[in-house]
């Protein structure tokens, strides 16, 4: 299977999850708006979500996959199964201890870390503590899910791992619909959502476990032991956990600062959901597929093929994220109005969230490039260099957020996150280039410049067309009219961009197809 097909498999499943995520946020906006219950729920949910990124997706996609791939290359599937059972025993035991400790410490964590701005409102603080306690076991489910997803990705079974997140949105939508149908007040709906998160975690774990069984591996529980492989995994996973959770680290810092203004947390979350669509579809797909591809190529000694794979992934990222960034900047107001402005979500809310989304659009290519560049370190079992760059970006994010929030409120937090993301991207790219792990291609530089030109042409077309669609996008227009108008603008943007990119040479379908299909020969497996 070519890289394009693998990107499409993961990206398609992720797109499905993001579409359900949009539906979820639309119902959330109608039910909760940017009121106090929205702030409480998102503050409580951010904490288990942070730990999921730190100890699950970040650590295991970065540390587990290269080691699991190495076991497959060296000792076949049986050796990989033995390694995964060793890790499962240690991971399950550690997660159980972490969950118990965090549940006991939840009041202190909410007061000092999650939402210090709620301190003047005892009711909001109490609700946040209780909802976070309900949702925190989601971490345990998702960490085990991430481990099994890493196994599936290494075995080139991408779909089950990619489709599992859909179930979180499906279960949460069901809870929202039930609450709206029953006419429940916002506080009750927030409780429904909290319990639905835990239920979804259990369901996602069941899905990937079934996928692992289908792939031919039956994981058994082993007594926790610090074997050499497990020690190596932990050595790699700790810095990888910090690195993999950069976005969440920056967002929880922003949340702590934003908790001082009512509605700010919810506004940031609504904008975040929109820009997570291209970030997820492109960034997650590239990161998930690229890491095992690079790890196997490097273990087999195909250095030139590994460098080519990395460059083609960067090209793929720029090809799709540059126009997406421009589109989010220009159409931010229209997108937020069509998706959210109804029920408790007012025109004033639209203006605030749209301004945040436009800033997130500037940071989008940087955030996605991080997903394409980090595997260049992880595949070589170097998790500490990206961690150092992450810490630098966190310092930049914290400093800017604290400085800008009193001046431009929520927009200051979004600006800080975008600046931190681009800083991390530049550091990763320059280091890979300096070490010789990334091959400089003038052809890639030329195509990047031409893609920027195509993006500028697309932007000009959107600015020209937007006044003609304005009457259909007004708050008084029917929802169907708004959707049609926004759909036409997006279709125009796609046609103009792709036509421009291919006409001026920023993209060449034949070249992309040939490069994406080129991959190293499969290494010969040792006899079992």
- Please report which confidence band the pLDDT of residue 248 belongs to, taking 50, 70 and 90 as the band edges: low
Could you give the dihedral angle defined by the CA atoms of residues 251, 257, 261 and 267, in that order, rounded to the nearest 10 degrees?
-10
- Please report which confidence band the pLDDT of residue 281 belongs to, taking 50, 70 and 90 as the band edges: low
Q: List CB contacts of 401: < 8 A, sequence separation 6 or more.
A: 253, 254, 257, 412, 413, 416, 417
- Please report which confidence band the pLDDT of residue 492 belongs to, taking 50, 70 and 90 as the band edges: very high
Which single residue is written with the structure tokens 């025109």? 347
Q: pLDDT tens-digit profile of 45-84?
A: 877 766 666 655 555 666 777 788 778 777 777 887 888 8
507: which DSSP letter?
-
Helix (H, G, I), strand (E, B) or coil at 423: helix
Which residue has better confidence, 511 or 149?
149
**Separation CA 286–CA 158 (nearest Å):** 12
* % of the chain with per-residue pLDDT over 70: 81
Is residue 441 scored above 50 in pLDDT? yes
Q: What is the CB-side half-sphere exposure of residue 188 using CA atoms within 13 A?
A: 9
- Please report which confidence band the pLDDT of residue 390 belongs to, taking 50, 70 and 90 as the band edges: confident
Say if CB 80 and CB 292 are below 8 A apart: no
Which single residue is written with the structure tokens 């006899």? 527
156: which DSSP letter?
T
Q: pLDDT tens-digit profile of 12-38?
A: 666 666 677 767 877 877 777 666 788
In 215-341, which residue ranges form alpha helices assigned H by DSSP? 228-244, 246-258, 264-278, 285-299, 303-340
**Separation CA 493–CA 152 (nearest Å):** 36
Tell me, what's the pLDDT at 526?
A: 38
Global confidence as pTM: 0.66
Which residue has better confidence, 473 or 403?
403
**Separation CA 82–CA 92 (nearest Å):** 16
Query: 344 exposed, middle or buried (CB, 10 Å; 0-12, 13-18, 19+)?
Result: middle
**What is the rounded average pLDDT for all residues in the chain?**
80
Q: Which residues of 456-471 are buried (b: 16+ CB within 10 A; e: fewer)?
A: ebbbebbeebbeebee
Q: What is the mean pLDDT of residues 425-445?
A: 86
CB atoms within 10 A of CB 333: 18
Q: What is the CB-side half-sphere exposure of residue 274 using CA atoms within 13 A?
A: 30
Which residue has better confidence, 259 or 246?
259
Q: What is the mean pLDDT of residues 124-133?
A: 90
Is residue 295 scored above 80 in pLDDT? no
The mean-pLDDT minimum among 44-53, 407-416, 442-451 falls in 44-53
Which residue has better confidence, 270 or 10?
270
Q: pLDDT tens-digit profile of 344-387?
A: 677 788 888 899 999 999 999 998 888 888 888 877 878 788 88
The domain locations on the chain are: 3-517
Tell me, what's the pLDDT at 5?
A: 59
* Total count of residues recorded for the chain: 528
Q: pLDDT tens-digit profile of 308-326?
A: 777 777 888 888 889 999 9
């Amino acid at each position: 299977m070519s890289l394009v097909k693998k990107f499409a498999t993961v990206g398609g499943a992720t797109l499905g999850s993001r579409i359900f995520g949009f539906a979820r946020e639309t119902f959330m906006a109608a039910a909760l708006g940017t009121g106090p219950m929205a702030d409480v729920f998102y503050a409580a949910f951010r904490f288990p979500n942070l730990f999921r990124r730190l100890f699950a997706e970040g650590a295991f996609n970065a540390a587990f996959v290269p080691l699991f791939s190495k076991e497959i290359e060296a000792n076949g599937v049986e050796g990989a199964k033995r390694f995964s059972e060793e890790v499962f025993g240690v991971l399950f035991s550690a997660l159980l201890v972490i969950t118990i400790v965090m549940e006991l410490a939840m009041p202190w964590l909410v007061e000092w870390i999650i939402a210090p701005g709620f301190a003047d409102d005892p009711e909001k603080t109490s609700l946040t503590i209780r909802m976070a306690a309900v949702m925190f076991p989601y971490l345990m489910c998702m960490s085990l899910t991430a481990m099994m997803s890493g196994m599936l990705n290494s075995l080139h079974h991408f779909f089950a791992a990619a489709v599992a997140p859909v179930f979180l949105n499906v279960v949460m939508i069901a809870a929202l619909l039930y609450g709206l149908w029953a006419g429940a007040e916002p506080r009750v709906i927030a409780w429904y959502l909290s319990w639905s998160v835990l239920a979804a975690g259990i369901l996602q774990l069941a899905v990937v476990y079934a996928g692992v069984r289908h792939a031919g591996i039956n994981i058994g529980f082993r007594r926790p032991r610090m074997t050499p492989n497990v020690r190596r995994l932990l050595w790699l996973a700790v810095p990888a956990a910090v690195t993999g959770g950069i976005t969440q680290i920056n967002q929880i810092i922003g949340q702590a600062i934003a908790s001082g203004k009512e509605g700010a947390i919810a506004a940031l979350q609504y904008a975040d959901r929109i820009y997570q669509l291209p970030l997820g579809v492109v960034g997650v797909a590239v990161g998930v597929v690229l890491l095992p591809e690079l790890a196997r190529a490097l273990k087999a000694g195909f250095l030139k093929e590994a460098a080519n794979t990395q460059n083609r992934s960067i090209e793929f990222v720029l090809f799709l994220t540059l126009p997406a960034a421009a589109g989010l900047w220009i159409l931010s107001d229209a997108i937020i109005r069509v998706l959210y402005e109804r029920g408790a979500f007012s025109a004033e809310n639209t203006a605030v969230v749209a301004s945040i989304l436009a800033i997130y659009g500037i940071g989008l290519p940087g955030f996605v490039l991080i997903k394409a560049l980090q595997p260049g370190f992880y595949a070589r079992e170097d998790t500490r260099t990206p961690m150092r760059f992450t810490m630098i970006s966190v310092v930049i994010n914290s400093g800017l957020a604290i400085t800008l929030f009193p001046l431009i409120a929520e927009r200051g937090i979004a600006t800080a996150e975008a600046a931190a993301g681009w800083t991390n991207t530049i550091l990763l790219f320059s280091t890979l280039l300096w070490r010789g792990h990334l091959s400089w291609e003038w052809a890639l530089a030329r195509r990047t410049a031409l893609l920027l030109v195509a993006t500028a042409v697309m932007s000009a077309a959107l600015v020209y067309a937007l006044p003609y669609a304005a009457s259909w996008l007004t708050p008084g227009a029917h929802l169907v009219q708004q959707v049609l108008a926004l759909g036409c603008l997006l279709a125009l943007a796609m046609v103009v961009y792709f036509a421009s990119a291919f006409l001026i040479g920023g993209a060449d379908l034949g070249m992309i197809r040939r490069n994406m299909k080129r991959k190293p020969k499969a290494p010969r497996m040792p006899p079992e």
